Amino acid sequence: MRCPYCEGERTRVIDTTRDSRGGVRRRRECIGCSQRFSTYERAVLASPLITKQDGTREEFDREKLHQGIRIACAKRPVSAADIERLVGEVESTLQAMGKAEVSSRVVGDMVIAGLKDLDHVAYIRYAIVYLGLDDLQAVRDEIDFLLEM
């Protein structure tokens, strides 16, 4: 592991923790400059192709999913850790399915369910685009549905 401060190649592991998705977080110290930093390791598993509504297929893109959720949660009291957790849950669920192709609807449904639990305003923001709520009455109906819960 290369030190991000001095580019030295000799580091030692101070602490190791595992998360629920199988990732490993290591706290390291550089032998050369004595700076400390963290690394995160996770297994790279085969992700399915995402089949869009128009029939096109594309690789699952974790960063694209992360960006969409982050936009929905902008200026909301949602921590970066919660966003990362939701993205990780969606990714690990897709990998656990073991399918070569998954509909974009499946991914969207997982995200919308996660956002509903996380923050109702972020959920509405995401739903406007994902569910195609194109008029105020549709948005109001969705808000009324949330308020009844």
> Looking at the structure, do residues 35 and 54 belong to the same domain, yes or no?
no
Residue 54 counted as domain residue = yes
The pTM of this model reads 0.65
Domain with 33, as residue range(s), is: 11-41
- Tokens 């194109």: give the residue: 134
Spell out the per-residue pLDDT of the chain, length 149, in tens.
Answer: 899 999 999 999 999 998 766 689 999 999 999 999 999 887 666 778 999 989 899 999 999 999 999 999 999 999 999 999 999 999 989 988 888 899 999 999 999 999 999 999 999 999 888 888 888 888 888 888 878 87
What is the residue-averaged pLDDT of the chain? Answer: 89
Q: How many domains does the chain have?
A: 2
d(CA 133, CA 124): 9
Residue 3 counted as domain residue = no
Residue pair 86/118 in contact by the 8 Å Cβ criterion: yes
Residues 18-42: tens digit of each pLDDT: 876 668 999 999 999 999 999 988 7
Residue 103 counted as domain residue = yes
> Looking at the structure, do residues 73 and 17 belong to the same domain, yes or no?
no
